[in-house]
Structure 1
Amino acid sequence: MNRNQRRAGGATGKAGTATGDAAALLGRAVPLHQAGRLADAEALYREALAVQPRQPDALHLLGMIACQTGRYAEAADLIGQAVAANRNVPDYHANLAFALQALGRSAEAERAARNALRLRSPFPEAANTLGNALNAQGKAEPAADAYRAALRARPDYAEAEGNLGTVLRSLGRAAEAEPLLRHALASQPGLIEARAALGLALLDLGHSDEGEATLRAVLVQRPDHAGAALALAGARQRRGADAIPAYRRFLTLEPADAEAWNGFGLALQAADRIAPAADAFAHAVRLAPTMAEALTNLGTIRRLQGRPAESAAVQRRALDLRPDYAAAHTNLGLALQDLGDDAAAEQSFTRALEFDPAQALARFNRAILRLRQGRLTEGWGDYAARFESGRLRPKRPFTIPEWQGDDLGGRRLLLWAEQGLGDELMFGALLPQAIARFGPLIVECEPRLVSLMQRSFPGITVRAPSRRPDDADCHLPFGSLPRLLWPRIADATAPAGWLQPDPARRADWRARLDALGPGLAVGIAWTSQRITTERRASYTELDEWAPLLRSPGLHAVSLQYDGREEEIAAVEQRFGLRIHRWNDLDQKADLEGTAALMANLDLAVTVASSAGEMAAALGVPVWRLGRPDWTQLGTAVRPWFPTMRCVHPQDGGAVGDAISVAFQHLVDLREGEM
């Protein structure tokens, strides 16, 4: 704010006496004002106005006290009266602009600031206020010019420098903004908006840790800084960190922000907090009924909650609002797929791609649908979008090109494992065929598998993933092998038992299992270490396995790599049985030992699990419990594993219902042996 401390001149006669009395009162008030004794100064200013009602200095200075105490409407009125009484004082116009800008009356503030600059130039404070007024009206470039003018007049003007940095960052010029903001804050650490802008600029420049720390510092200084809370929430959400607390803080400050409720819902969904996520999306829709993004997200949650018909209806509402909304078409396709309408689902995925050819999630889901139907050529083509879909781990970056299946012409090919251990073993079933067709290869796999793979493929280089391989000319992820080697279902054949355990360790485990006595050694895996709402339906509880575990002559062996000691002990006590495990074998870390154990099993019965994939890769008979899925490639089996049998629940029941089917298979097996 700019204080005009000019005192009114004297006069003669009666009017002159009144003027002199007012001037005397102002003379007493100004030192009190400067000393911060605002109440005392205000009383004297009001006395001066009682003596001389239109005294411009008294009006102006009283308006300044109103500004200083946050009474901006009163300030604008008082300083406006001062301007009306004397239009030639630049400070009046500048401080009127400040009060008007504080009230959000930016167009009026702009006019007042320009009036001040016409009367005095340079006038850094007025130029800074002009920049604020222009920026509030969305005129960012002219605002930047105004801030620069303020800095030319006063190079040490930290507030103007911070404002310039803030507006440059909003223009997408974070690299220019960062040094300005740092310099302004070094001079004046209390510039909250500049610090918030610095946090945003750092995020823009990819310095996420420092950017988030800066935003947190803003919130320490100003816990009610809604912009910093929202920016922090968004930053954490983008990098997959927990954004829920930041969203909660923002929504406490701005509870009517529908977009933030939508973002909050996404954060809750990422944490697998499905019911609260549904509430957040529903609240966003109540606040903004035409917000298609919140509608499609709500529809997705309804599908995860097992309500596909409702999900489809909500997706159609989103599409009524935005017929070209590719994400909603994709999500509608998923709901239709859950409802059993594959044709309509595929049409929705295709529609999404018509509106947005880069909609990788639609292409990935269409791939899964087509592969499940056995349409391999089309399916593998779409499956190439898996890395961009957001459903799988990102693709590894390489400096060498990805091989497209053309003649290698002497080039050396690097094959690298993708996704989790189960997928690595599934796609690994094509390695014998790839080695035979493509010649000497380099294979990079999960480090725990290296020795097993090297033993299984002694003629090639096998190693853990390298940062920058310099001994290969091109690369290909494992999941791209089927597109080249299995274009038709007739091509989808893999050898049995291609993974070779260590012979000495296998013999050791043979002795251990023989010590259990006569009967069948049956490995079991009933769940996953990573259970989410979406994945839960594919897994079981151990106590559901009681009919199988209590079968006479069956020695159950746990293949749960995550231990689950308490769960196992509870089932053992409840049903009076034994599930074998050994303290000297870590099935997660020691895959050599695990493979040696599995290779001696008579049978493995598992849900969709890497344990079942490994047992099948070793050539062990495996019964896989679950509903039909895309990895069967439209067949009754899983072509990747000749020794695996798919055991489905009857009449579309839960996966646990397949246990009774497996039990009957076991009875039939025993009777066949008798």
Structure 2
Amino acid sequence: MAQHLSGDAISVAQNAREQKRLTLLNPDAAGRWAALAASAPRDAVKFLTRAIILSPDDFRLYVNLSNRYLASGEALRIWGPLRAAAILFPELSRAYEYLGVLIPVSVTEGDRRRLRAWSWVCGGAAQAGVVAATRLIDMDQLEAASELLKAVISSDPLSSEAWRECALLEQKKARDKLARTAFLRAVLTAPNICDGYIAASAFLIDQREFASAAQALDFAACLIPDSPAIWVNRSSMYEHQSEPERAIGFSRRALMMRPQNAAYTYNVGAVLHDLGRVQESLAFHDRAVLMAPDNLALKNNRAILLLKAQAYQQGFAEYENRWYGHDLERSPGRSLYPVRSFDLPLWKPAETSGDRILLWGEQGIGDEIWGLGYISSLRGRHESFVVETDARLVPLVNRVFPFVECIPRNMERTLDTSLFDAQLPLLSLPHSLGLSEAPAPAGWARDRPEDLVKVRERLRAGRHGKKIVGLGWRSVKPLAHRSFGLSLEAFAELASLDDTLFLPLQYGMSRDDWCEVEALFGKERILRPDFDVWHDLPSLADAIGGVDVLVSAATSLVPLSVAAGTPAIALLNRVQRDWRYPPDASCSPLLPAVELMWPRQWSVPGSLNCAVNRAFQ
């Protein structure tokens, strides 16, 4: 069968000649130049530009120009004409929303959201307002997003998308009760929309309400049985319950449905990582990065896996990807995670000009303590260094590193960056200083020997000849970081050690916690810290330096024991997120003098006591 043609080439050429003739007869008529542009697509941009010069108040000319840019593959040039058109004719909101959906894949997701945000600003539909709020949330402008969502819900109280985005916003603000209410309203306003149940299930998984999450996913499956998002969340649900054997099947099923999806590919790798199959996991991470080479999160996750695989040189090099990403929009506020919180270049020791360098702590207190050890490698350099860190660490840094200036971090304060020439977060020091494969610095916070003797005597309170074991078993973390805590029962066999005293270094202990410790080890063998474990970190470091061995879960006490130069035994969970703990390894060069014990080891009767006796010797 013959194909239908789109038109007669001869008539098209005749029309172009006719439009050119009419334009020459009336060169000051903007409409003639616009018509000529329509008949001559190759030169349309030039003719429309001429038409705009003649009639700058005609919004239709700007819209036509943006369409021509799209048709010619120059999508990044559409913003200017569309902004001008919106100023001239605010009712263009639908055009913005339409373009926000259909612009080419070469345009970033941020630009796509920006278009749809303009749609809401210009009076568009509720969906455009939700997209605008999503962009504000991504930029950490939470209050502005909240006000926008209130306006959207006020105009359309039955907008399920608005309630769902409102729930995600409240979840980010850690206001779980409000988030729960908003998720419920999202479902009630559109009970036939699968996305509401899926989003609610993710929230319930974070709240560890697994039965309710499973029920929400069952409702979603009734609406769209083959939705891969349902299988992803089922996988996440079992992963949060430390059941990766059940999670892997669901994550693989989602990937089979969307084999080119980078996020689903990564999910399979993440579950394999939980199963301890590091090399298989790394292969899936590699595939995910190839699918989405500009995705910052995927590169950062692969870097963490490389570090866990003890490929430290490549891992620390890739860990710098947490600074870069085509899809990363700069946050206007301070962040403990390395998005560019300061308008300063990164410090490169061999290349950066300038003498005043800002080093700053990132992520958790344990990460800061670990990173501070590398400051010892800066001794003798010609630059001057200012270290911004948690206020609790300032006295310790000033005592140990007198050659740097240490200032307390204030997330509400704007730091005067004009005082500095460059910046670097502490966890970038190993890579920047070429120390990626060297053992992490140890003993840098250890007090003078004569002072340690005084600390030990004070801790023993007259009970000479006794060994002291420091204890830590819990870390206050978000629910997603459950791997940082253990039950105190895991330490029970230590009670059979002879001539041993126990010093709980767990912060936030309640009366019930003290009763449990005393019941387990005996009240007469328990030493109580005479300082605030949470606020007085220099005294905590000295106390750890004064014990014979520290036995702890994977909390900040472990890197602090490395800093104090005290042997430690880290009791780990099966799934351990921290990249300083290589799966199944008994030691880590990133944590010198720390013996790693996994559940299959410390759960064997007598094994923990044997490890403690080795540390004593």
> Normalized against structure 2, the TM-score is what?
0.69
Between the aligned partners of 2:321 and 2:397, the Cα distance in structure 1 is: 27
Return the match for 1:335 from 271, 290, 297: 271
Q: Aligned residue for 2:205?
A: 269
- Specify the SS of the correspondent of 1:631: coil
| Superposed CA offset, 1:441-462 (max 9, x none) | 2222221111111111111222
Q: Aligned residue for 2:58?
A: none
| Superposed CA offset, 1:573-611 (max 9, x none) | 355344645475211011122223222222221121112
Cα RMSD for the two superposed structures: 4.0
Return the match for 2:431 from 465, 480, 483: 483
Structure 2 vs 1, CA of residues 387 and 486 (structure 1 numbering), >3 Å: closer, same or farther? same
Q: CA deviation at 1:614?
A: 1.3
Structure 2 vs 1, CA of residues 410 and 468 (structure 1 numbering), >3 Å: closer, same or farther? closer
Structure 2 vs 1, CA of residues 240 and 329 (structure 1 numbering), >3 Å: closer, same or farther? farther
Return the match for 2:400 from 456, 469, 475: 456
Q: Aligned residue for 2:287?
A: 351
Q: CA deviation at 1:328?
A: 0.5
Q: Aligned residue for 1:512?
A: 458
Return the match for 1:556 from 493, 502, 509: 502
Between the aligned partners of 1:638 and 1:233, the Cα distance in structure 2 is: 41
Q: Is the 8 A contact 1:258 1:287 kept in 2?
A: yes
More RCO (CA 8 Å, sep 6+): 2
Q: Is the 8 A contact 1:608 1:626 kept in 2?
A: yes
Q: Is the 8 A contact 1:330 1:361 kept in 2?
A: no
Between the aligned partners of 2:284 and 2:440, the Cα distance in structure 1 is: 34
Q: Is the 8 A contact 1:350 1:362 kept in 2?
A: no
Choose 1 or 2 for highest CA Rg: 1
Return the match for 1:609 from 549, 555, 569: 555
Q: Aligned residue for 1:435?
A: 379
Between the aligned partners of 1:447 and 1:313, the Cα distance in structure 2 is: 46
Q: Aligned residue for 2:416?
A: 468
| Superposed CA offset, 1:516-555 (max 9, x none) | 402012211112222636534x532223322213422111
Q: Once structures 1 and 2 are overlaid, which stretch shifts more, 451-460 or 264-273?
A: 264-273
| Superposed CA offset, 1:398-422 (max 9, x none) | 1111124533344432221111111
Between the aligned partners of 2:258 and 2:504, the Cα distance in structure 1 is: 51
Q: Is the 8 A contact 1:550 1:577 kept in 2?
A: no
Between the aligned partners of 1:597 and 1:342, the Cα distance in structure 2 is: 37
Q: Is the 8 A contact 2:116 2:131 kept in 1?
A: no
Q: Once structures 1 and 2 are overlaid, which stretch shifts more, 576-585 or 321-330?
A: 576-585
Q: Aligned residue for 1:532?
A: 479
Structure 2 vs 1, CA of residues 510 and 340 (structure 1 numbering), >3 Å: closer, same or farther? closer
Structure 2 vs 1, CA of residues 505 and 287 (structure 1 numbering), >3 Å: closer, same or farther? farther
Q: Is the 8 A contact 2:580 2:591 kept in 1?
A: no
Give matches, 1:93-172, under 5 Å: 170=97, 172=115
Between the aligned partners of 1:603 and 1:661, the Cα distance in structure 2 is: 15
- Specify the SS of the correspondent of 1:646: strand
Return the match for 1:645 from 594, 605, 610: 594
Return the match for 2:249 from 285, 290, 313: 313
| Superposed CA offset, 1:619-644 (max 9, x none) | 122222226874256975333444x2
Q: Aligned residue for 2:490?
A: 544
- Specify the SS of the correspondent of 1:595: helix
Q: Is the 8 A contact 1:549 1:577 kept in 2?
A: no
Q: Aligned residue for 2:342?
A: 398
Q: CA deviation at 1:252?
A: 2.2
Between the aligned partners of 2:131 and 2:304, the Cα distance in structure 1 is: 39
Number of equivalenced pairs: 494
| Superposed CA offset, 1:221-255 (max 9, x none) | 98756454334234435666543211111212322
Between the aligned partners of 1:480 and 1:532, the Cα distance in structure 2 is: 27
- Specify the SS of the correspondent of 1:544: helix
Structure 2 alignment gaps of length 5 or more? 1-85, 99-114, 329-334
Q: Is the 8 A contact 2:198 2:216 kept in 1?
A: yes
Give matches, 1:66-77, under 5 Å: none
Return the match for 1:599 from 533, 542, 545: 545
Q: Is the 8 A contact 2:358 2:420 kept in 1?
A: yes
- Specify the SS of the correspondent of 2:469: strand
Give matches, 1:9-20, under 5 Å: none
Q: CA deviation at 1:197?
A: 8.1
1:407 to 2:351 alignment: yes
Partner amino acid for 1:472? F
Structure 2 vs 1, CA of residues 488 and 640 (structure 1 numbering), >3 Å: closer, same or farther? closer
Structure 2 vs 1, CA of residues 535 and 180 (structure 1 numbering), >3 Å: closer, same or farther? closer
- Specify the SS of the correspondent of 1:470: helix
Q: CA deviation at 1:279?
A: 3.7
Q: CA deviation at 1:436?
A: 4.5
- Specify the SS of the correspondent of 2:471: strand
Structure 1 alignment gaps of length 5 or more? 1-147, 153-160, 182-192
Between the aligned partners of 2:217 and 2:594, the Cα distance in structure 1 is: 42
Identical positions, percent: 27
Between the aligned partners of 1:346 and 1:202, the Cα distance in structure 2 is: 35
Structure 2 vs 1, CA of residues 288 and 425 (structure 1 numbering), >3 Å: closer, same or farther? same
Q: CA deviation at 1:379?
A: 1.3
Q: Is the 8 A contact 1:292 1:321 kept in 2?
A: yes
Q: CA deviation at 1:165?
A: 9.4
Structure 2 vs 1, CA of residues 373 and 226 (structure 1 numbering), >3 Å: closer, same or farther? closer
Q: Aligned residue for 2:304?
A: 368
1:631 to 2:580 alignment: yes
Q: CA deviation at 1:297?
A: 2.8
Between the aligned partners of 2:116 and 2:613, the Cα distance in structure 1 is: 72
